[in-house]
Amino acid sequence: MVTGVGLVCALGIGTEESWKNLLAGVSGIGPITHFDTTDFDCKIAGEVKNFDPFVWIEKKELKKMGRFIQIALAGADFAVRQAQWKPEQSDLDEVGVYIASGIGGFDIIEREHIKLTSGGPGKISPFFIPSAIVNLASGHISIRYGARGPNSATATACSASAHSIGDSFKIIERGAAEMMICGGTEATITPMGVGGFAAMRALSTRNDDPATASRPFDRDRDGFVVGEGCGILILESLEHAQKRNAPIVAEIVGYGMSGDAYHITQPGGNGDGAFRVMRAALKDAKLSPDDIGYVNAHGTSTPIGDAIETRAIEAAVWRARDWQEAAGEFDEIHDGTFARRRGRAGSRHQRAGAARWNFAADDQSIQCRSRMRFRLRAESCAEGDSGLRAFEFVWVWRDECGADFQTLDGEVSAKIFCKPGFSAGISLQKTKMPA
């Protein structure tokens, strides 16, 4: 059971502020301020603005933490508060932590390397390693709340946070914990982070229009926008949540994993890995494609990635729903089936997508007032592939809840697809309490 959601991202500090800005159509993407971008082709990112770590962390502790850890502690606080959980409510041997990150303290690595090259090894901080390594986000959160149960971290690139959530679900399912604080955190808006992705030609260079730079599945997409932030979920067994009368938001019902075994940075050409992970999540949840009301896409905004993901989603979800008939109605708007995001922060994307759906599930009136619509069009997402449909996204703001909006009444498949070949899929649904 999902009982708490904590968000710190480019849209806001805190779940409510982030959600409010998302509904208002605010873009968190803007010019990079963390460093001088004069010599960089990409000059935009989704920075967390006005983040004050001293709200959550004592000054003497701050030097032991990279920015990704600082943000994770703030996100955990928001999640715990929404879940209305206090450590004394639980057997802390049964409470675990599982926080992912794509790379950890990139800011710290760069800072300490500069010290090494300019002043020698004697200038390196003794806190360099513990402030940079991926597992210390989980470590600091477990120390803060006294959580002595399963403690882990993963660094499977863009699938890392989906893996942390799915693995936490399985940890609770097999009885190894009653509650897990899980999700992911990322802070890679640094010269090496941005420069490295730019060297791969993966980043958008739409510097003159940051708000529209991230445009997955769009004909004119030119890469993703790097971001930073965290998304933390509180997962509990039903019995644990009921025992403390927790506010249950949603239920995770399935999880799948797969690998492409294909290439170090590109997904398999036919989308097989993404297709198999969606199928695995559906199988684990005992759902069929007809049960799915929403797909949360990875959508890297890259020409290759989006094309391959489109094939996978078509095969796993829409082909079973008479895709050809639906695709023929090119002027028809189909609601509530597909989601994109505004910017990207590696591992942060998956749990942000899961967190946004969970928050929507708990506030249907808000979700109904702001919906993303898309039009299907008979146009190839990849040159020369005439059988592939692309998507033109249209934001539609509504003042009233439409009676035809049904997404949150059914299940949702939050499918996450990762470029280096790691895929993770999670199926969530509105909680169905036993009679």
C-alpha–C-alpha distance, residues 310 and 381, integer Å: 8
Opening angle at CA 249, ends 138 and 312, nearest 5:
75
SS3 track for 81-150: HHHCCCHHHCCHHHEEEEEECCCCCHHHHHHHHHHHHHHCHHHCCCCHHHHHCCCHHHHHHHHHHCCCCC
Decide: 336 and 407 in contact? Cβ < 8 Å. Answer: yes
**pLDDT tens digits in sequence order for the chain, 435 residues long:** 999 999 999 999 999 999 999 999 999 999 999 999 999 999 999 999 999 999 999 999 999 999 999 999 999 999 999 999 999 999 999 999 999 999 999 999 999 999 999 999 999 999 999 999 999 999 999 999 999 999 999 999 989 999 999 999 999 999 999 999 999 999 999 999 999 999 999 999 999 999 999 988 888 899 999 999 999 999 999 999 999 999 999 999 999 998 888 888 777 777 888 888 888 998 999 988 888 877 888 888 888 888 888 888 888 876 654 433 433 333 333 333 444 443 344 444 444 555 554 545 455 433 333 333 333 332 334 444 433 333 333 322 222 322 222 333 344 444 444 434 556 677 777 665 554
3-state secondary structure of 27: coil
User: What pLDDT does residue 298 have?
Assistant: 85
User: What pLDDT does residue 267 have?
Assistant: 78
C-alpha–C-alpha distance, residues 164 and 406, integer Å: 29
User: What pLDDT does residue 198 have?
Assistant: 95
Measured over the CA atoms of residue 33, residue 35, residue 36 and residue 42, the dihedral's sign is: negative
From 251, 266, 281, select the one nearest 432 (Cα to Cα).
251
DSSP 10: T
DSSP 55: G
Tokens of 285: 């949840």
What residues have CB less than 8 Å from 344, skipping those under 6 apart? Answer: 46, 214, 224, 225, 226, 227, 300, 301
C-alpha–C-alpha distance, residues 179 and 163, integer Å: 16
Please give the radius of gyration of the chain, using alpha carbons only, rounded to the nearest integer. 21
Q: Residue for token digits 């971290």?
A: 153
- Residue 394 bridge partners (DSSP): 373
Buried-state track 294-330, b at ≥16 Cβ within 10 A, e below 16 = bbbbbbbbbeebbbbbbbbbbbbbbeeeebeeebeee
pLDDT tens figures, 90-113: 999 999 999 999 999 999 999 999
Q: What is the DSSP string of 305-374?
A: HHHHHHHHHIIIIIGGGTHHHHHT-TT-EEESSEE--SSB-TTHHHHHHHHHHHHHHT-HHHHHHEEEEE
C-alpha–C-alpha distance, residues 280 and 254, integer Å: 8
Cα 216 from chain centre:
15
- Residue 151 bridge partners (DSSP): 97
C-alpha–C-alpha distance, residues 87 and 82, integer Å: 14
CA distances from 353 to 30, 113, 266 (A): 21, 34, 22
C-alpha–C-alpha distance, residues 195 and 197, integer Å: 6
From 266, 226, 229, select the one nearest 353 (Cα to Cα).
229
Phi and psi at 418, nearest 5°, equal: -115, 135
User: What pLDDT does residue 244 have?
Assistant: 96
Does the pTM of the predicted model rise above 0.85? no
User: What pLDDT does residue 325 have?
Assistant: 40
- Residue 183 bridge partners (DSSP): 99, 232
Q: What is the DSSP string of 205-243?
A: --TT-GGGT--TT-TT---B-BBEEEEEEEEE-HHHHHH
